[in-house]
């Protein structure tokens, strides 16, 4: 039964710029979990301590699934009754070979070969793979099937279709597995 999902996007202020790599990762994880609690609250879901299994995959809690993502300047999180995935990436130029790693010629034929499109594809695939529970190892089997508009991507993973909704936030793209659900983005200012 479809529901409304409340993916939460939150900026990361610069007060942790002098933290070590480990301290910075812990801080980003803490902020992502704060965003997760906002998503749970908006969804009317009581979510306990978000736990992960031995392979780092989020464990469902009382029939609710959750997903978080964080980058140095932005965190994102979502709760759902269905398996769900969310991913955020900052749009920036990378090395050219990476374009071919994330998408094949057929997929590139759907849109311009740009870094913007690259990150649309990358975050959509990452969100779907998180929902499936297999992570980046399934990247080559996850294919972009269609780009209905600037905010949606349709993916195919071994015959299963995933509808992904995307939000542009500053210089970031955030993707969440939408499916049949409604999406109400929650953008927080810290």
Answer whether 172's CB lies under 8 Å from 89's CB. Answer: yes
Question: Model's pTM, two decimal places?
Answer: 0.94
The third-level CATH classification (topology) of the domain covering 4-187 is Ribosomal Protein L22; Chain A (3.90.470)
Q: What pLDDT, on a 0 to 100 scale, did the predictor assign at position 168?
A: 97
3-state secondary structure 45-63: CCCCCCCECCCCCECCECC
49 to 36, 37, 60, 69, 131: CA distances (angstroms): 11, 10, 10, 17, 19
What span, in angstroms and rounded, lies between the C-alpha atoms of 160 and 185? 25
Q: What pLDDT, on a 0 to 100 scale, did the predictor assign at position 190?
A: 62
Q: What pLDDT, on a 0 to 100 scale, did the predictor assign at position 1?
A: 78
- Read off φ and ψ for residue 131, nearest 5 degrees: -65, -40
Q: What pLDDT, on a 0 to 100 scale, did the predictor assign at position 142?
A: 97
Q: What pLDDT, on a 0 to 100 scale, did the predictor assign at position 158?
A: 96
Q: What pLDDT, on a 0 to 100 scale, did the predictor assign at position 22?
A: 87
Break the chain into its structural domains and give their ranges.
4-187
Question: What contacts 50, CB < 8 A, 6 or more positions away?
Answer: 33, 36, 58, 59, 61, 66, 68
- Read off φ and ψ for residue 3, nearest 5 degrees: -140, 175
Q: Which residue positions in the chain have pLDDT lower than 70?
A: 15-19, 190
Q: What pLDDT, on a 0 to 100 scale, did the predictor assign at position 62?
A: 85
Q: What pLDDT, on a 0 to 100 scale, did the predictor assign at position 20?
A: 74
Q: What pLDDT, on a 0 to 100 scale, did the predictor assign at position 137?
A: 82
Answer whether 184's CB lies under 8 Å from 147's CB. Answer: no
Nearest to 131 by CA among 89, 82, 172, 173: 82
Which residue do the tokens 């994330």 mark?
A: 102
């Amino acid at each position: 039964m479809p529901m409304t999902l409340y993916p939460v996007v939150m900026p990361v202020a610069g007060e942790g710029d002098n933290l070590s790599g480990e301290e910075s990762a812990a801080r980003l994880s803490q902020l992502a979990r704060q965003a997760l609690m906002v998503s749970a609250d908006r969804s009317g879901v009581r979510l306990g301590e978000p736990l992960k299994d031995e392979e780092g995959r989020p464990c469902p809690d009382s029939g609710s699934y959750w997903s978080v993502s964080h980058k140095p300047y932005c965190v994102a999180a979502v709760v759902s009754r269905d398996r769900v995935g969310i991913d955020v990436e900052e749009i920036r130029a990378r090395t050219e070979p990476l374009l071919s790693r994330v998408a094949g010629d057929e997929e590139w034929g759907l849109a311009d070969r740009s870094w913007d499109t690259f990150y649309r594809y990358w975050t959509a695939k990452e969100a779907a793979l998180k929902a499936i529970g297999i992570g980046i190892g399934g990247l080559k089997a996850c294919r972009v099937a269609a780009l209905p508009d600037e905010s949606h991507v349709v993916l195919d993973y071994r015959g299963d279709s995933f509808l992904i909704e995307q939000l542009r936030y500053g210089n970031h793209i955030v993707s969440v597995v939408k499916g049949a659900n409604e999406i109400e983005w929650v953008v927080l200012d810290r």
